[in-house]
Amino acid sequence: MDNLVEEAGLREGISEVIATTQPLSGTPNAAPVGILSRGSEYRVRLYRGSKTLSNVRETMRLAANVTRDPMFFVRTLFGNLSPGDFSLFHGFPVLKEANSWVLFRCRLVYEGTDSLLFLLSPLAVAIIRARIYAINRGLNAVIEAAILASRYNIMKSNREREQMMRKMGDYAEIVERCGGRREKEAIRLLIDELQKRANQNRMVSKNLSMLL
Ligand SMILES: Cc1cc2nc3c(=O)[nH]c(=O)nc-3n(C[C@H](O)[C@H](O)[C@H](O)COP(=O)(O)O)c2cc1C
């Protein structure tokens, strides 16, 4: 099974994927997470306050969906997908458009103040499209920008937010230079969403509009 997980795209280090989960009763949820892999051990660290964490605590299941579409990372960072974006594997939601997915059983191994660490055991693997891609700096820059944006709410000072703005500008430049249509669409959506959140902070808000 571990070889299959690697074939599905979860390689040594941290793999950025879209986690799909669901509560015992209710609608499926999707959000970006990093799956940590060392040897044949897979883990995920889930920060408190997310829907993903509350769903995992209820069902102890998480599917790691592998996709290279940056729009999924930005859309699921700020909200959920529509029901039509999911398909069901034995009742568990996975992404219809995933290139591959791995359904994991989760076991809580550490409960920290800010986050909980789960050990993951693969239950099922699907490889739908095995495609070969060269590295695209635009795609990498969108992912870095999305990670930065995910920390926006915990940034306490204006100085931190302004530093974030500068980095965001650098990523946006890389996307414009190296990205394809999907990457450009994703960085614009990301900056739009941040703009909405920054409305109360005039300085950051002004700088964000200059990036568009
Ligand atoms: C590329 C990327 C990787 C992320 N990895 C994690 C992670 O490993 N653990 C986590 O708790 N949050 C991670 N986040 C942040 C969550 O995706 C974010 O808090 C999200 O809003 C949670 O959504 P939810 O409430 O629908 O679960 C990541 C964000 C991005 C953009």
The interface predicted TM-score (ipTM) is 0.99
Question: 44 C-alpha to center of ligand 1: Å?
Answer: 11
Is the per-residue pLDDT at 204 higher than 70?
A: no
DSSP string, 174-209: HHHHH--HHHHHHHHHHHHHHHHHTTT-HHHHHHHH
For residue range 104-148, what is the model confidence (pLDDT) as tens digits? 999 999 999 999 999 999 999 999 998 889 999 999 999 999 999
Q: How far apart are CA 113 and CA 103, in angstroms?
A: 27
H or E element: which one contains 3? Answer: helix 2-7
Q: CB–CB of 165/208 below 8 Å?
A: yes
At which residue do the structure tokens 């306490």 appear?
Answer: 156
Mean pLDDT (whole number) for 89-116: 97
pLDDT of residue 211: 67
- Most informative mutation of 10, 29, 33 for ligand 1 (most atoms within 8 A of CB): 33
Smallest Cα–Cα separation from 61: which of 112, 19, 11? 19
Is the per-residue pLDDT at 203 higher than 70?
A: no
For residue range 40-76, what is the model confidence (pLDDT) as tens digits? 899 999 999 999 999 999 999 999 999 999 999 999 9
pLDDT of residue 6: 95
- Vertex 145 angle, CA 144 and 149, to 5°: 120
SS3 assignment, position 10: coil
Q: For residue 80, count CB atoms less than 10 angstroms from its CB and return exposed for 0-12, middle for 13-18, buried for 19 or more.
A: middle
At which residue do the structure tokens 């005039």 appear?
Answer: 202
Q: What share of the chain is helix, strand, coil (3-state, %, to 5)?
A: 45, 30, 25
Question: 116 C-alpha to center of ligand 1: Å?
Answer: 13
Q: CB–CB of 94/105 below 8 Å?
A: no
The strand pairing partners of 30, in sequence order, are 20
Is the per-residue pLDDT at 201 higher than 80?
A: no
Within 6 A (CB) of ligand 1 lie 16, 29, 31-34, 44-47, 50-52, 73, 77, 143, 146-147, 150
pLDDT of residue 207: 61
Q: How far apart are CA 74 and CA 72, in angstroms?
A: 6
Question: 15 C-alpha to center of ligand 1: Å?
Answer: 13
Residue boundaries of the structural domains of the chain: 2-127, 137-211
Residue nearest to atom 3 of ligand 1 (CA): 33
Residue 127 is encoded by which pair of tokens? 């490889």
SS3 string of 106-165? EEEEEECCCEEEEEEEEEEEEECCCCCCCCCHHHHHHHHHHHHHHCHHHCCCHHHHHHHH
CATH code reported for the domain at 2-127: 2.30.110.10
Tell me what the pLDDT averaged over the chain comes to: 93
pLDDT of residue 165: 86
Residue nearest to atom 4 of ligand 1 (CA): 33
Domain 137-211 is of which CATH architecture?
A: Up-down Bundle (1.20)
